[in-house]
Structure 1
Amino acid sequence: MTNSRISRARWTAAIAAGAALVGVVGAGVPAAAAPAAVRAPVAGAGAPVSVPAHVAAHGHGRIDQGALRDALAGLPDDHVRGAMVRVVGRDGRWTGTAGAWTSADAPYAIGSVTKLYTGALALQLVGEGRLSLDDTVQEHLPGLLPASYAPITVGQLLSHSSGLQKPTCVRPGTPVEVVTSAVSCGTPTAPGTAVQYNGINYFVAGLVIEKVTGRPYATELRDRVLRPLGLRHTHLPADDWAWAEGGIVSTASDVTRFMQALMRGGLLRPAEQAALFRTPSIPDARFSYGGLMRTPAPGGGPVVWGKTGTNRGYTGGVFATPGLERVVVYSTLPTGKDADQELDRVLRIVGAGFKGYEERR
């Protein structure tokens, strides 16, 4: 298999891994109503778009602005109604929008990128000695999982190596109801033996955070991450049951600031910062103990760390080089007509964001 095909296969898996659990429950279960702040771009996702094709952009530095403009050109089309991309780094910055996405810093649902925030909270508690990556779910939440399940550690939850079965029976509800429904059918595999991306891991992680702190997850998120970093445009809507797994609404600039702080060590102590980039010693362990995903950038670019996310009609992500020389935040409004065409657009956008990095480092 050629490198380009390997890269495409990995990004196909990455996009699939980004779908918040609300996208797994099936067409028969409606997602929660979107907040007003994110409703307008999502409504009528499959309908014709009257917004004229355009690319609105501004930037400076040596980032490949031409490649980024080309990646957004032609939107809206039959497959993607609009897109946003923000690139920042040591050699400049660039922000662009196209199609139905008319404001570069409009709020949007970040979906499973939420998992990075949850992972950061868990690692903070580890650093404080209130939690350990080797602690088990059964210790902190007795009775949540069936008695027949083998012990599952916090580290296995965060790295998607818990062995919990795919959530084919999941139903919306409270976090406990979501987890209970998800494990009501199917059979788990042995924890710590394989990687299987599963949003239920982060529902359980959120519940562990609440049990250890004695406070709601949203409160811990606000006091430990949002307020200290000044993320004034980031919040967890009360009506989104994706919760600690995929419920956050934010903006491109806030996501950028969060990613920079997370990877620079602004949220974690040194030992936990190391765990943020450490993966389990099992085959294909591409998720770290902080939920970061390691993958080559599209088009032969550098190896980057980040996360994809899909919720409320948005598909996006954030990825960065290990030294934060380049951070790329993006989101698209796919129509749902052709997954391959939608993936092509994402690959073009993210690849353009990292284009030229290797040549100059």
Structure 2
Amino acid sequence: MRKSTRTLLAATLLLGAAAGPALTPAFAAPGPATAASQAPRTTSPDLSAVIAGLPRADATAALVRVGGTEGSWQGSSGVHDLETNAPADPAARFRAGSVTKVFTAATVLRLVTEGRIDLDRTARSYLPDLIPGRYATVTVRQLLNHTHGIPAADFEGESVEEWYANRFRVHTPEAMVRSATAKPREFRPGTRQHYLNIGYTVAGLIVERATGASYESQVERLVLRPLGLRDTYLPGTAAEMTGPYNHGYQTMRLDDGTTGLRDVSVWGTTDGWAAGDLVSTTADLERFTRELFAGRLVRGPLLEEMFTLPRVPDVKTGAPAAYSAGLSMKRLGGRAVWGKTGGRWGYNAAVASTRDGARTLVYSVNSTDAKGQDMNPTALGLMVAAYGLPD
């Protein structure tokens, strides 16, 4: 573990977060969603402590739901925006970032059930006009579990200020794939793992080619509509979220040359597309997580694809692979926790659960460092409070 991560964990403990097993009694009695600052009738002291005192330097708002057979808790803290300082809306929509990948993986696996996609078939066989010969052996399964060896696409800018200036630029998935596949492969497919967005960009295009319909319509048909996720959507080229949302802020250099917080709520997400453009709510993501883990969305052996880690090393660290099809796995508090985190400028989000659904966690944290090198302290505190310290 990096020293910086250890420091954040120590800070989390000072906030009152305890190891997972000690948290269980605090979850016993159910209660309605209530702002943490309003002393809810039913609460978890540890989770409340993590989100108390918002806004602060690292985050302006937080929305949290914990559920499962071990009990439930809901809380919110912070502000809707820094201009009015109105309380954060606990039902607000937010950008979920790479949590999108879980929805994409579930969509692909449901299309496998329909016989439209084959996990062992090559990406090039679906997209011969986009995937060149050097990537001829990459399979759909390898796209989903990040063992494909395709490098990242190139984007304009090298700093948050430059990216902000380009925030309305529209990126097409085809152009992103061409940018990535024009470069040499990072490794022979199936021999290493490198977590990147590009595999899911290719997977989204395969969904379109296999069905003759848009990626967005297939996610709607196969995931959103069956689960009744009415507040979840894929924004396409729209830069502003629809419906109520709490504003997101990012620390950056301002127009007067000083460093401060800029409202980054309105920002295009076409660079993420099938890998990272989802907008949702904590209620919808909690329902999605519960239904997915219970096997009511993806079933049987195909669901096991989401809980099977490839037996290859990480390309950077050499550690065992930590990503499956759509999910990742960490051992926290003595047990395996599966889920996915995501980040867009101004927003961090996560879904997580034990495999048996005993404890689920969903959060949205309006982080001021959402693309930082380390995990946001508030987000990290919530994960540790819900499950415990890394093993």
After TM superposition, give the deviation of residue 192 of structure 1 in Å.
0.6
Compared with structure 1, are the counterparts of its residues 343 and 2 closer, same or farther at alpha carbon in structure 2 (3 Å cutoff)?
closer
Shift of 1:168: 3.7
Please say if residues 101 and 276 of structure 2, whose CA atoms lie closer than 8 Å, have aligned partners that are also in contact.
yes
Residue 156 (str. 1) matches residue 153 (str. 2) = no
- The residue number in structure 2 matching 1:43 is none
Structure 2 Cα separation of the partners of residues 137 and 337 of structure 1: 32
User: Whole-Å Cα distance in 2 between the matches of residues 262 and 82 of structure 1?
Assistant: 27
Q: Does 1:146 align with 2:132?
A: yes
| Counterpart mapping for 1:1-361 below 5 A | 55-56=37-38, 58=40, 60=42, 65-101=44-80, 102-169=88-155, 172-185=170-183, 187-239=185-237, 240-241=269-270, 242-283=272-313, 284-288=320-324, 290-297=325-332, 300=333, 302-336=335-369, 339=372, 343-354=376-387
Residues 140 and 196 of structure 1, relative CA distance in 2, 3 Å threshold: same
Residues 234 and 57 from structure 1, CA distance in 2 versus in 1: closer, same or farther, beyond 3 angstroms? farther
Q: 1:95 to 1:286 in 2, by over 3 A?
A: same
Instruction: Kindly indicate whether the alpha-carbon contact (under 8 Å) linking 1:110 and 1:314 is maintained by their aligned counterparts in 2.
Output: yes
Aligned residues: 308
Corresponding residue SS for 1:145: coil
Taking the aligned partners of 2:36 and 2:65, their CA distance within structure 1 comes to 16
**Aligned-partner residue type, residue 198 of structure 2:** I
Superposed displacement of residue 354, structure 1:
2.7
Matched residues in 2 for 1:173 and 1:277: separation? 31
Counterparts of 2:334 and 2:49 in 1: how far apart (Å)? Answer: 17
Residue type of the alignment partner of 1:65: S
Q: Distance in 2 between matches of 1:56 and 1:320?
A: 27
CA distance in 2, matches of 1:337, 1:306: 18
Please report how far the alpha carbon of residue 220 of structure 1 lies from its aligned counterpart in structure 2 after TM superposition: 0.7
For 1:160 and 1:54, how far apart are their aligned partners in 2? 38
Asked if 2 retains the 8 angstrom alpha-carbon contact of 1:79 and 1:342, the reply is no
2:254 aligned partner: none
Residue by residue over 1:294-337, the C-alpha shift from the partner in whole angstroms, topping out at 9 and shown as x without a partner, is 1123xx35320000111242011111010111110112112239
Q: One-letter code of the match for 1:55?
A: S
How much does 1:281 deviate?
2.1
Write out per-residue CA displacement over residues 266-296 of structure 1, whole angstroms, 9 at most, x where no aligned residue: 11231211222112221222111x3110112
Work out whether residues 63 and 90 of structure 2, in 8 Å CA contact, stay in contact via their aligned partners in 1. yes
Question: CA separation in 2, counterparts of 1:56 and 1:124?
Answer: 42
- Cα deviations by residue, 1:223-246 (Å, 9 ceiling, x for unpaired): 111111010111111223122111
Distance 1:132 1:112 in 2: 23
Q: Which has the larger radius of gyration?
A: 2
Deviation string for 1:169-221 (max 9, x for gaps)? 57852211121123334543211111101101101000111111111111111
Give the letter for the 1:140 counterpart.
Answer: Y
Q: Secondary structure at the match of 1:193?
A: coil
Three-state SS of the structure 2 residue aligned to 1:123 is helix
3-state SS of paired residue (1:165) = coil
How far apart are the structure 2 equivalents of 1:161 and 1:337?
26
User: How much is the aligned-residue C-alpha RMSD, in angstroms?
Assistant: 2.9
Change (3 A) 1:100 1:136: same
Separation in 1 of the partners of 2:349 and 2:39? 18
Amino acid at match of 1:285: A
| Aligned amino acid, residue 293 of structure 1 | S
The answer to which structure has the higher helix fraction is 1
TM-score using structure 2 length: 0.72
CA 1:96–1:141 in 2, change beyond 3 Å: closer, same or farther?
A: same
- Structure 1: segments with no counterpart, 5+ residues: 10-52
Instruction: Give CA deviations for 1:58-88 in whole Å, capped at 9, x if unaligned.
Output: 474xxx7000111112211122122121111
In the alignment, is the contact (CA less than 8 A) between 1:169 and 1:181 conserved in 2?
no
Residues 337 and 78 of structure 1: is their aligned pair in 2 closer, same or farther, counting only changes over 3 Å? farther
TM-score normalised per structure 1: 0.78
Equivalents in 1 of 2:8, 2:36: separation in Å?
A: 27
Calculate percent identity across the aligned residue pairs.
Answer: 38
Residue by residue, what CA displacement relative to the aligned partner does 1:238-258 show, whole Å, maximum 9, x if unpaired?
223122111111100000111
Which residue is 1:31 aligned to? Answer: none
- In the alignment, is the contact (CA less than 8 A) between 2:346 and 2:370 conserved in 1? no
**SS state of the match for residue 221, structure 1?**
helix
Q: Which amino acid aligns with 1:98?
A: S
